[in-house]
């Protein structure tokens, strides 16, 4: 099925780290047109050279041009702030006076509130805070989006269109975005951790590393594909595998005895607390 055509206005991407490049991959999909092109900044000239063959991207480096960030945002309708949380307010201070009056400012940084960002934008630009996750690199992200006090419905719709290019989008109130980050933002790392541990278990039971990875990756992939294709709840699918008195039931009992739910609550609460710490540091 051909993806519907998406048209977006000129975009500046400040900070081309792993998440910035994942977003960029979505913007460079064949069905996406960014009118006026995409400007990307980073510190490393060698990394900027990655875009030499991409005519839709203009890459600038702060290592060679101290004004790269300011140059990138001039005339841009969307400015994506892709730097680390501790750098966000400094970047906003740097570019504030050259931003277009109605430029939509989109942050992907954890913990930095829209209120904080608005305070560094004396031009009154609207701010959207987002929380994408790393499956954006394969077009399977889940991105939470929250608008600040200056955002209009059209601004939100524009942000949704942008992040639709890398996966699913959920528009939520900002007081829930840290919680979302602890689920979908950190969630891929949890899954990779479970896969890692499951592979170790398989190896301990006598399988080679190659066999263990085939078993575990195939099992996770197949289970998720089944969950999506069946339309059933995970509880129902688990029930079908868990025969009364069987081996799977015995294994689930061990998980229940360890209170896996309590562990998940504690882990996600810790992630939320750390996000809030990053926002105040």
Per residue, the 3-state secondary structure of 122-152, as one string, reads CCCCCEEEEECCHHHHHCCEEEEEEECCCCC
Phi/psi of residue 215, nearest 5 degrees: -60, -50
In this structure, what token pair is assigned to residue 162?
Answer: 């942008």
Q: In the prediction, which pLDDT does 281 show?
A: 56
Q: How high does pLDDT run on average in the chain?
A: 93
pLDDT confidence band for 184 (50 / 70 / 90): very high
Contact 131, 153 (CB under 8 A): no
SS3 8: strand
Decide if 182 is inside a domain.
Answer: no
Decide if 27 is inside a domain.
Answer: yes
Residue range 256-281: mean pLDDT, rounded: 90
Residues 167 and 257 both lie in one domain: no
User: How far from the centroid of its chain's Cα atoms is residue 256's Cα?
Assistant: 31
Answer with the one of 113, 147, 173 that is the final residue of a domain: 173
- Closest to 217 measured CA to CA, from 232, 203, 237, 198: 198
The span from the CA of 28 to the CA of 34, in Å, is 8
Residues 23 and 143 both lie in one domain: yes
User: How large is the C-alpha radius of gyration of the chain?
Assistant: 22
Q: Is the pLDDT of residue 19 over 90?
A: no
Residues 159 and 234 both lie in one domain: no
Range of the domain at 76: 6-173
- 202-223 pLDDT, tens digit each: 999 999 999 999 999 999 999 9
Decide if 25 is inside a domain.
Answer: yes
Residue range 147-175: mean pLDDT, rounded: 96
Decide if 260 is inside a domain.
Answer: yes
Task: Provide the CATH number for the domain around residue 30.
Answer: 3.40.50.720
Residues 229 and 132 both lie in one domain: no
Number of domains, the chain? 2
Residues 47 and 169 both lie in one domain: yes
Q: In the prediction, which pLDDT does 149 show?
A: 96
In SS3 terms, 22-81 reads as HHHHHHCCCCEEECCCEEEEECCHHHHHHHCCCCCEEEEECCCCCCHHHHHHCCCCEEEE
Residues 238 and 272 both lie in one domain: yes
Residues 28 and 166 both lie in one domain: yes
CB atoms within 10 A of CB 109: 24
| Cα-based distances in Å from 23 to 55, 78, 106, 180, 258 | 17, 13, 12, 19, 39
Answer with the one of 173, 203, 228 that is the final residue of a domain: 173
Residues 126 and 216 both lie in one domain: no
User: How far from the centroid of its chain's Cα atoms is residue 54's Cα?
Assistant: 23
Residues 144 and 205 both lie in one domain: no
Strand pairing category for 11-14 and 38-42: parallel
- 30-58 pLDDT, tens digit each: 999 999 999 999 887 777 677 778 889 99
Strand partners, 171: 145
Q: What percent of the chain has pLDDT over 70?
A: 98
Q: Which residue has the tokens 């201070």?
A: 93
Residues 147 and 196 both lie in one domain: no
- Closest to 121 measured CA to CA, from 153, 148, 97, 152: 97
Decide if 37 is inside a domain.
Answer: yes
Decide if 1 is inside a domain.
Answer: no
Answer with the one of 144, 173, 202 that is the final residue of a domain: 173
Residues 92 and 213 both lie in one domain: no
Decide if 178 is inside a domain.
Answer: no
pLDDT confidence band for 1 (50 / 70 / 90): low
Q: What is the pTM of this model?
A: 0.88
Task: Provide the CATH number for the domain around residue 192.
Answer: 1.10.3730.10
Q: In the prediction, which pLDDT does 280 show?
A: 67
Residue range 125-148: mean pLDDT, rounded: 94
The span from the CA of 53 to the CA of 194, in Å, is 39
Residues 202 and 266 both lie in one domain: yes
């Amino acid at each position: 099925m051909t993806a519907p055509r998406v048209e977006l206005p000129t975009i500046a991407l400040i900070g081309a780290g792993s998440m910035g490049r994942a977003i960029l991959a979505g913007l460079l999909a064949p069905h996406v047109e960014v009118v006026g092109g995409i400007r990307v900044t980073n510190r490393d000239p060698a990394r900027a050279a990655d875009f030499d063959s991409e005519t839709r991207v203009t890459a600038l480096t702060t290592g060679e041009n101290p004004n790269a960030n300011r140059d990138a945002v001039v005339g841009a309708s969307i400015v994506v702030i892709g730097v680390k949380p501790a750098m966000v307010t400094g970047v906003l201070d740097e570019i504030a006076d050259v931003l277009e009056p109605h430029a939509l400012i989109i942050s992907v940084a954890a913990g930095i509130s829209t209120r904080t960002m608005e305070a560094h934008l004396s031009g009154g630009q609207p701010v959207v805070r987002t929380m994408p996750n790393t499956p954006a690199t394969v077009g399977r992200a889940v991105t939470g989006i929250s608008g600040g006090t200056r955002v209009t419905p059209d601004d939100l719709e524009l942000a949704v269109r942008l992040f639709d290019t890398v996966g699913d989008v959920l528009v939520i109130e900002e007081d829930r975005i840290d919680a979302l980050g602890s689920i979908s933002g950190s969630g891929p790392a949890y899954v990779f951790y479970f896969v890692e541990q499951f592979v170790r278990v398989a190896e301990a039971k006598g399988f080679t590393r190659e066999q263990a990875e085939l078993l575990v990756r195939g099992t996770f992939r197949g289970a998720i594909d089944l969950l999506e294709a069946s339309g059933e709840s995970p509880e129902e699918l688990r029930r079908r595998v868990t025969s009364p008195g069987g081996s799977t039931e015995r294994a689930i009992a061990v998980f229940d005895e360890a209170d896996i739910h309590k562990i998940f609550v504690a882990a996600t609460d810790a992630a939320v607390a750390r996000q809030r710490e990053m926002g105040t540091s």
